[in-house]
Structure formats: C-alpha cells, structure tokens
Amino acid sequence: MTQTRIRAGAALLTSIVVTSCGSSSVTTDRFAARASAICSNTTQREQALGPAPRFSTPTTSNLGAARMFLAHLVPILADAAAQLRAIGAPDQNAASANAMIAKLDVAASAFQTAGAAVAHDDVMGFWNAFGAAVRADEDASGLDAELGLTLCSQLATGPFRSTFGTPTPSLGPTAVASPT
C-alpha cells in the first residue's frame, strides 16, 4: 500500500509540474497584475532620483543637470522594459503588450540620445529626442488602457511632469507646456 501511495503521489506531482510548466502563456489579468507591480516599483525608483532639473529656458549650460538626471533614468527604464518583457505577452492582447514595451524601449533610447545631444552642446538635439520620448509615452498610454493598466503609462516622462508641466509632442524649446 505504501508503494501505491508513493506512486499516486508521484503521478499527481508529475501532472502538476507538467501542467504548470507546460503552459508558458499568461492571461491578460495576470500580465496586468505583474506589470502594474513592476511599473509601481519603477515609479518609486524614479521618484527616488529626486525632482527632474528645472529650467525655464534650455541652454547648453543648464541642460547639464538634465543630462545627469537622464544618465540615472535610462537604466531604470531599460530595467522596467526587461522585467515587463520577462513576464511574457498575455494570451490575448499580445500585440498591445509587446507594443507597450517597445514604446518604453523607444523612450529610454530617446532619453539616451537626449543626454548625448547635451554632451555635444546640441540643444535642439535634446529637444528633438525629448519629443520622441514624449510621443512614445503618449502612444503607450492608449495601450495601457487596453491591457487594464494604470501605472505604466508615462513611465518615461513622468519624472519631468512636475518640472515642465504636461509635455507636448511638438519639438523645440516650446515642446513643453508651462507648469500648472
């Protein structure tokens, strides 16, 4: 009888392991729960950086602070994208989940470009790259709603909202609305 119980227990354990390991798909609800936790953590990490640099007229002399801020922000965004990617796309809405993560990658890359532009005294290059990050965030916010997320939109430009007000996607120094 003991061997029968052991075999039955082993068979049950094997079926549980095969069932849970055999399915690599993620439900949309599970994706939303895990993604929301990642985005909440990312927002906390961004807030720990302190406020984004504040300036009214961008010049090569005052964009240096933005460059330093971006040097810390970009790895946080890249880490968030990697964590979101590791969840796996949900069974339904896979295209939306992958597009949202791609937009986060675009924003991180644009901010990296913005930092490089400042290093080369390229004020317009900074604003063009910043505008690309804003557009990527705006594109991602519609995907958030589709995936049942509220915390993931505007991860990239969130730290700048208190500094600049609500960024707009137009380019140049007027690309950002005045603080409200």
- What the block records as the tokens of 121 is 């005294």
DSSP code, position 26: B
| Its pTM surpasses 0.85 | no
- How far is Cα 92 from Cα 71, in angstroms, rounded to an integer? 35
| Domain residue extents for the chain | 24-175
pLDDT of residue 13: 36
| CA geometry: angle 49, 54, 60, nearest 5 deg | 105
pLDDT of residue 8: 40
Query: What architecture is the 24-175 domain classified under in CATH?
Result: Up-down Bundle (1.20)
pLDDT digits (tens, 9 = 90+) for 94-122: 898 898 889 889 988 998 998 898 888 88
- What the block records as the tokens of 53 is 């640099």
- How far is Cα 32 from Cα 19, in angstroms, rounded to an integer? 22
- How far is Cα 127 from Cα 69, in angstroms, rounded to an integer? 15
Q: Which of 149, 15, 160, 142 is nearest to 77 (CA)?
A: 160
Does 173 score more than 60 pLDDT? no
Residue 27: CB atoms within 10 A of its CB come to 12
pLDDT tier at 163, thresholds 50, 70, 90: low
Does 62 score more than 80 pLDDT? no
Residues 6+ apart with CB under 8 A from 160: 52, 167, 176
Q: Which of 38, 26, 28 is nearest to 151 (CA)?
A: 38
Q: How confident is the model over 66-73, as a mean pLDDT?
A: 86
Q: Establish how many alpha carbons lie within 13 A of residue 99's alpha carbon, considering only the half-sphere containing its beta carbon.
A: 16
pLDDT digits (tens, 9 = 90+) for 28-59: 889 989 998 998 898 899 889 888 777 556 66
pLDDT tier at 168, thresholds 50, 70, 90: very low
